[in-house]
Structure 1
């Protein structure tokens, strides 16, 4: 639940940012000076890029959560016994110990979205967020192709 609160706060802050930057952009465009106009145009473009990036991340979160619920209903989430820190995060050594099994699962079934999703969870547990996101994105693409095909 705290992740959702964090996302909501970030979305509200982005909206505030867009309004404030839009106001500054309008003022710069109104100067008529070439440099001011260029800066105003840049200030208009940057919030759109930020909104696009936030929307993309929100969509990733929604789809990942949906696939996670589906795996949970199927009883296909990882079930290894691992130690947890007081914060609730998995102890890194335990995550590293179970990781090879998930990598092998993906190598054996490269078109299985479930295997990619579990690999993403293993990467996340091992602290490799970039690869975790990549694996979950791949799982989302594969599941979407499977649903359409």
Structure 2
């Protein structure tokens, strides 16, 4: 299953969950029972948090994909060759060997979204998803700031 299909399935399931929880919240809010009303109010908050989280993740994925395409179009995508498993994931030892150059580049050019995006790709290849997401989030923020600073783009 492709990543997009997986995202679509998970988003659909989460939306179904939100609708079902929302229905239960309405039933509890209209029950007239004090405890039921309190539980209904709590159930209203949970779907709102879920909608916010889903929106945030979808936005992150969309922006990251946009930046990845832009980097490829500019010919600035990472070109280090690493061996991959049959699943397509990079072998960790190869990714770890390529990683220091990306980190050094990010330290030398802290305001360039491209180096932060490449660093995120390197972190992901090395299996560090948390740092990969942080680096890509920074790349998104830097690119957005750069876009706002250059009107007419």
Instruction: Report the TM-score, using the length of structure 1 for normalisation.
Output: 0.97
Q: Which residue of the partner structure matches residue 146 of structure 1?
A: 146
2:4 and 2:87 map into 1 onto residues whose CA distance is 18
RMSD, aligned CA: 0.9
Aligned counterpart, 2:72? 72
**CA distance in 2: counterparts of 1:44 and 1:28, whole angstroms:** 10
Equivalent position of 1:4 in the other structure: 4
The CA distance in 1 between the partners of 2:145 and 2:64, in whole Å, is 15
CA distance in structure 2 between the aligned counterparts of 1:136 and 1:20, rounded to whole angstroms: 34
Cα deviation for residue 130 of structure 1 reads: 0.7
Partner Cα distance (1:81, 1:15) in 2: 40
How big is each residue's C-alpha offset from its partner over 1:54-80, in whole Å with a ceiling of 9 and x where there is no partner?
110100111100100011011111111
1:81 positional shift: 1.5
Please give the per-residue CA displacement for 1:82-136, whole angstroms capped at 9, x wherever unaligned. Answer: 1111111100000000100000000000000000000000000001111100100
Determine the C-alpha separation between the residues in 2 that align with 1:71 and 1:19: 38
Instruction: Return 123-132 or 31-40, whichever deviates more.
Output: 31-40
Aligned partner of 1:103 in structure 2 is 103
Equivalent-residue separation in structure 1 for 2:88 and 2:41 (angstroms)? 45
Runs of 4+ in 1 over 2 A off after TM superposition: none
TM-score, normalised to structure 2, is: 0.95
Q: Which runs of 5+ in 2 are unaligned?
A: none
